[in-house]
Amino acid sequence: MSETAIADAAEQICAARLSLTPLAPPLAGAAPCDLAEAYAVRDAVHARLAESRFGARVGWKIGCTTPVMQAYLGIAHPCAAGLFAGTTHRGDATLRHGDFIRVGVECEIAVRLTSDLPEGPFTPETVKGAVGAVMAAIEIVDDRYVDWQSTGTPMLVADDFFAAGAVLGGEHDPTALPDLATLHGRVLIDGAEAGAGIGADVLGHPYAALAWLAEHTCARGMPLRAGEIVLLGSLVRTRWLSAGANVRIEIDALGAVEASFA
C-alpha cells in the first residue's frame, strides 16, 4: 500500500469507529490485503485516535492467544491492538451500553511494565523481569462490523481487532504470585458463570504472549516501554452483552473486577 492508501484506509476506519457506524469493507480506495499492510494501517489509526476522545495509546491488547479464541475467530496466530487512555478504566466501572455497537467482554490477565524492552531475545523468562504489576482485567470488545466473519483478518487487525477498552483490577506484585500459568479465571454475567479458563491456555504461559508482543513491537520500531499496560489474552470465549448487564471477572490470586453496562 502507498502512504496515501494507508492514510485513506486509516481515515475511513477512524471515522466509522468514532461515529459508531458498522464497518463494511471493502474500503473506498484501498484496504490492507496482508498482515504487514494491516499493521501499517493500524499504526496510522492509532495516530488519528490519539487526537480524539480515545486519547494516547497507553498499552496493548493481544488477541487470539488461546485455543478457545483461535477456534472462535478462525485465526491461528496472535494479533496486536492498541489500548487507549480514554477507554482504560481502573477499578470497577459503570459504562454505557449505547457507547458501543455490539459490546462484549473477555477475561484477561493484564500486566504493567516497569522497564523498557528495547531488544531481544524475547522469551517468557527474559520479559518477566520488566513486569511490575499483574492485574485481573475485563477486556471490552466491540463487534463494529456489518459481518465480522467476512471482514477478513487484515481488516480486523487494521481496526484493532475488536478492541474497545479495558477495566483493570487491583495491582499485585508479580514476585508474590503463584506461577501465572496456574491461575484459573472465570467470567460471571449477572451472577451466572459464563466461562472459565487457565493461564496456561495463553500460548502455554501468559509471559509467552508478552514475549510475542515484545518481538512484534520491536519489529515495528516501537518497543514496549515502562508504564505500558498489556492485556495478554482471554481465558474464555468472548461474551456479548445485553443492555444492563453486570460483569464480574475473578482470577485466582488476582481478585475480581466488575463492570456494568447501563
Tens-digit pLDDT profile for residues 123-146: 999 999 999 999 999 999 999 998
Cβ distance 211 to 126 under 8 Å?
A: yes
Tens-digit pLDDT profile for residues 84-119: 999 999 999 999 999 999 999 999 999 999 999 988
Does the structure show a pLDDT above 80 at 45?
A: yes
Nearest to 56 by CA among 215, 222, 199: 222
Does the structure show a pLDDT above 90 at 203?
A: yes
C-alpha torsion sign, points 14, 167, 81, 218: positive
pTM of structure: 0.94
Measure CA 199 to chain center: 16
Amino acid at 103: V
Mean pLDDT of the chain: 94
Does the structure show a pLDDT above 80 at 18?
A: yes
Does the structure show a pLDDT above 80 at 150?
A: no
Cβ distance 32 to 41 under 8 Å?
A: yes
- Grouping H, G, I as helix, E, B as strand and the rest as coil, residue 209 is helix
Q: What contacts 144, CB < 8 A, 6 or more positions away?
A: 16, 17, 20, 22, 23, 100, 101, 102, 159, 162, 164
CATH of 57-261, one of 3.40.50.720, 3.40.50.1000, 3.90.850.10, 1.10.3720.10: 3.90.850.10
